[in-house]
A and B are shown apart, each in its own frame.
Chain A
Amino acid sequence: MSALSRDQWVAEIARKTGKPASDVEALLKRLGIEPKLTHAIPKRLKLRSLAFTGEKTGDYETKIIDFARSGLEPGMHAFVSDANLKGKTSLLTMIRWALTGTRSLPPDMSGWFRTLKLGFSLDNDEYEVRLLDAELGSGLLVKQMRGREFVVAEFADTAGFVAAMDSFFLSELGLEPLEVIAERDGKGVDQRHGWNWLFGVMWISPDPKAVFGGDDTSHGKATRAMQMYLGLPWITTRAKLMEAQKRARIDTEQEARQAKQVSDAARTRLNELQKKREAIVAEADGRPSAGKLRADMAVATAEYASYADKLRRNVSVVEELEAEHRHAEAAVAAATRELNAFRENLAAGYVFRRLNPISCPSCDEVYTAEVRETRHGNHDCVVCGRTERLEPDSTAGVEERLVADVTSAKEGAGKLQKRLAEARRKSTGFEATRDAQARVLEQLEKQLDELRSAPDGRLELVKLDAQIEELTLMAGTERQAETTEADLLEAAIKATKTMYEEEQDTVLSKVSELAVTYAQAFGLTDLRGMRLKGNTHMELHMRGGKKNFGDSTPGERMRLKLAATLAMIQVAEQTGIGRHPGVLLIDSVGNNEVVKQDVAKMVVGLSSLSDSLPTVQIFVAGVKSDAILDHVPCGNVVENREDGYLW
């Protein structure tokens, strides 16, 4: 037994962590953990009677169910039949149903049962659990004392039944439920395993997976079951601390994941804001200042005005030249017309002068040949009679002059055309330059407008910097796990273990030694030694070598489990420390490879326990055999009826 008190335990935790004792106390209070400092003193459960009624459905010779056994005493009891599936296991299941409220009968028995009663005692207290409506699960748990019955619990349905039996037995036997934290989707889910789970230590099945408890070994159930029934102090305290530690780890990891998600989101947003900031700075660097823009605009305006002025003056020149050119062209046309008219008239005159007049244009009198001849002879005009004077050819030189005029006019027009073309070319150039400057001005004005209307880069930067600072904090600091509480819990777990470790090792050593004896008595003659550890791992030293519990055959495992359980019960009885109630329900002991001799030895071994364990009650269900009938008191044997069924 640990000599340390609670205060000393707290002080030890504080010392290991360097934290004040007040922190330790605060943690324990917050977690609701209070150490169990005392040893558990075993109570003895004894089944007194079993009765149930109902009616079978289906093709049965005897349908009415009316089973009753009373006066059950400590020792070995057997439910046997000639064949299987005759109700042997069901009787064990009925007992479990009555004690835990959990019904696990085959589905074909649904609706069969009307009532179920189980009388039992816990040490000197007598109780009876009565299922008045077996199908509904309603009934009573009564305590019988001083000639009266006192209702301990009343339940209206199966859930109420389970809760009532759970509360009763955990309290009476000093047991505690197993509160574990299951991790699902990154979150911690509370799970409670109560009396129905702890009852598994009392049930020995043909093919057990664990040394203690049922086949569900998750969350260290086998170890916790063993620790519970060993009854050593501090063990459950340590178990609670470990669960608290697990919960803290899950919560911390969940918080860390959430914090990381926030951190990641913050980091992403931070990158976006930093890029935005860089863009603003780059744009500000690349953007010309308002002063520069205005200076450029002044230059462009001056250029524009200069070329606009040149264009305007040149337009006047062009207009003048165009007018002169038009005149020149008109002069060319006039000279050409003059020349054409001269030439045509000259040619036409030549034609018409050669024509002989036919008649007088006034009176139409035809000119006779005589008239014609006379006037020609006198060089007179045939028409008017006037003398034709031979005048010098007035056309001499005219054509040359007119040709020269045309040439001269064309030359003048040509020169003007060139000057005009040059002036127009200049106009085009001045106009292009002026328009280019106009576009430059327009662009500069647009830039200036954009500069004026753009958000103040400095203000934007200040805002961004503030956001970046905040997000940097969020992104950079991934939440650190709460170390203080973890350290305290770790220290508490270690400190608590030291409280019971030595004692536990001593107890387990005794249990191992005794379990070997029992296992050998059950037919495992090659077993030389066993080491049952605190985590329920069982090392076996066989004649041929070492192996573990899990390496054994189903039959071996059943006998090893039975041996270990009985050893634990006996060591508890010897030391006065333990919580096993002392009832074992063993199912189908003869249904595996165990040979008849081994069955006999196991039953002999079991029956011999009545000497050393006078208060232990063992119920065995199996096929009828000489081994069972020879070693179980006949008053404790329930055999099948003629129809083959036990009930």
Chain B
Amino acid sequence: MANTEYRDAVRILFLLVEGSVDNGDLSTRSAYPRRFEGETRLQALDFWIRYPDYLADELVAQYEETGDLSLLDAARAIFDDNEPSERSIPMLRRYFGAYEPLDTVLTMLGVAGLTKAITIEHPTASPQHFLLSEAAFDLRDRILREHPVFGWYAARAKLVLRVSRGMGGGPLKKRQHERKEYHDARVDDLIPTIAEAVRAKLEKLRA
């Protein structure tokens, strides 16, 4: 496949922008008014964008928990648009789950002054957050204006953040690990598709 770093940068940018919160750090707030917390969270959210079948599965699960029909409709739309085939971007299974090195993408975003990665010092963990400048939001809007092709990524970013329900990276990963195929995938193998199983589940619910 051709080099897709630029596309990946757009996708990650949309996730960072959509999933950001106010930057509470006074020292960096003026340059970077918003902040995305957690690379693990970023990876988990990106997994759901890159694997529409797993996202649909989570949507169905949350529908079964809550009865919210809009979740079921969103899951059906994923399969109606053949997204598991046409929109999936495989990811490798690493030690803790699906993982894609984002260094180049984050560098691209950082070089352009859009994001700045920071590591929070903590006794037990060292989470990495991403500060976001106003330029990141402006670029997001301009991309959407000038390149409607990326509209799908913007909408999908919103959807995965809704589905995440504010969970952090750890809980999200844990949630994703609950899927057997995800958890059982061998390290360094691509996470397998579960499209047929989710399609069957949707058919059953339709009945």
List of B residues within 8 angstroms of A330 by Cβ: 85
Q: List 6 A-B residue pairs with CB atoms under 8 Å apart, sorted by A's residue number.
A: A329-B85, A333-B82, A344-B7, A345-B2, A351-B142, A359-B111
Assess A336 versus B111: contact at CB under 8 Å? Given A344-B150, A345-B4, A345-B7.
no
Across the A-B interface, give the 10 residue pairs with the lowest CB-CB distance, nearest first.
A358-B113, A348-B6, A333-B85, A355-B112, A349-B6, A344-B7, A361-B107, A347-B147, A345-B7, A348-B10
Tell me the minimal C-beta distance from B78 to chain A in angstroms.
14
Taking the nearest CB of chain A, how far is it from the CB of B158, in angstroms? 18
Query: For residue A350, which residues in chain B have a CB less than 8 angstroms away from its CB?
Result: 147
A355 vs B146: C-alpha distance in the bound complex, in angstroms? 14
Q: What residues make up the interface of A, taking CB atoms closer than 8 Å to B?
A: 329-330, 332-333, 336-338, 340-345, 347-352, 355-361, 383, 398
B149 adjacent to A343 (CB under 8 Å): yes
A259 to B56, CA, bound (A): 93
Determine if A347 and B111 form an interchain contact, defined as CB atoms under 8 angstroms apart.
no
Q: CA separation between A330 and B84, bound complex, in Å? A: 11
Q: Which residue of B lies closest to A356 (CB)?
A: B112
* Contact status B112-A352, CB under 8 Å: yes
Residue of B nearest to A330 (CB): B85
Provide the bound-state CA to CA distance between A343 and B108, in Å.
Answer: 19
State which residues 26-73 of B face A: CB under 8 Å.
none
What per-residue 1/0 map shows which CB atoms of B130-150 lie under 8 Å from chain A?
000000000100110011011
Determine whether the beta carbon of B3 is less than 8 Å from that of A352.
Answer: no
Q: Is the CB of B111 within 8 A of A342?
A: no
Verify B85–A357 contact, CB threshold 8 A.
no
In angstroms, Cα B143 to Cα A398, docked, is: 22
Q: A348 and B7: CB pair below 8 A? A: yes
B111 pairs with A337, CB closer than 8 A: no
The reply to whether A351 and B1 form a contact with Cβ atoms under 8 Å apart is no
Q: Find chain B residues with CB under 8 A from A343 CB.
A: 149
Is A359's CB under 8 angstroms from B110's CB? yes
With a CB–CB cut-off of 8 A, which chain B residues contact A333? 82, 85-86
Residues of B within 8 A of A (CB): 1-7, 9-10, 82, 85-89, 107-108, 110-114, 139, 142-143, 146-147, 149-150
Q: Among A337, A345, A352, A356, find the residue whose CB has the most chain B CB atoms closer than 10 A.
A: A352
CB neighbours (8 Å) of B86 from chain A are 333, 336-337, 340
Report yes or no: A351 in contact with B10, Cβ–Cβ below 8 A: yes
CB within 8 Å for A351 and B139 given contacts A341-B4, A344-B7 = yes
On whether A351 and B113 interact (CB within 8 A), knowing A333-B86, A345-B4, the answer reads no
For chains A and B in complex, what number of residue pairs have CB atoms within 8 angstroms? 82
In angstroms, Cα B108 to Cα A337, docked, is 23
Q: A358 to B85, alpha carbons, bound, how many Å? A: 38
Q: How far is the CB of A367 from chain B (nearest CB, A)?
A: 9
Given A337-B88, A352-B9: 19 more A-B contacts, CB < 8 Å: A333-B82, A336-B85, A337-B1, A337-B85, A337-B86, A337-B89, A340-B86, A341-B1, A345-B3, A347-B6, A348-B10, A349-B6, A352-B6, A355-B114, A355-B139, A357-B111, A357-B112, A361-B107, A361-B111
Instruction: Tell me the nearest residue of chain B to A333, going by C-beta.
Output: B85
Q: Dominant SS at the A interface?
A: helix
Question: Cβ of B2: which chain A residues have Cβ within 8 Å of it?
Answer: 338, 341-342, 345, 398
The residues of A that contact B4 with a CB separation of less than 8 Å are: 341, 344-345
Q: Is the CB of B108 within 8 A of A352?
A: yes
**Can you name the residue of chain B whose Cβ is closest to the Cβ of A349?**
B6
Given A329-B85, A333-B82, A336-B86, verify A345-B111 contact (CB < 8 Å). no
In this complex, the member of A330, A348, A351, A355 whose beta carbon has the largest number of chain B beta carbons within 10 angstroms is A348
Beyond A338-B1, A351-B139, A352-B112, whether A345 also contacts B88 by CB under 8 A is: no
Asked whether A358 lies within 8 Å of B10 as measured between CB atoms, the reply is no
Scoring B87, B111, B114, B142 by chain A CB atoms within 10 A of each residue's CB, the highest score goes to B111
Residue contact B1 to A344, C-beta cutoff 8 Å: no
> Chain B: which residue is nearest A360 at the CB level?
B111
When distances are taken between beta carbons in the complex, the residues of chain A under 8 Å from B108 are 352
Which residue of chain A has its CB nearest to the CB of B109? A352
- Give the distance in Å from the alpha carbon of A356 to the alpha carbon of B114 in the complex: 11
Tell me, rounded to whole Å, the shortest Cβ–Cβ distance linking B164 to chain A: 23
Let me know if A351 and B85 touch, CB within 8 A.
no
Q: Closest residue to A358 on the B side, CB-wise?
A: B113
Residues of A with C-beta under 8 A to B142:
351
Cα–Cα distance between A492 and B10 once the two chains are bound (Å) = 142
A359 CB contacts on chain B under 8 angstroms = 110-111, 113
The residues of B that contact A398 with a CB separation of less than 8 Å are 2
Alpha-carbon distance A383/B85, docked complex (angstroms): 37
Residues of B within 8 A of A352 (CB): 6, 9, 108, 112
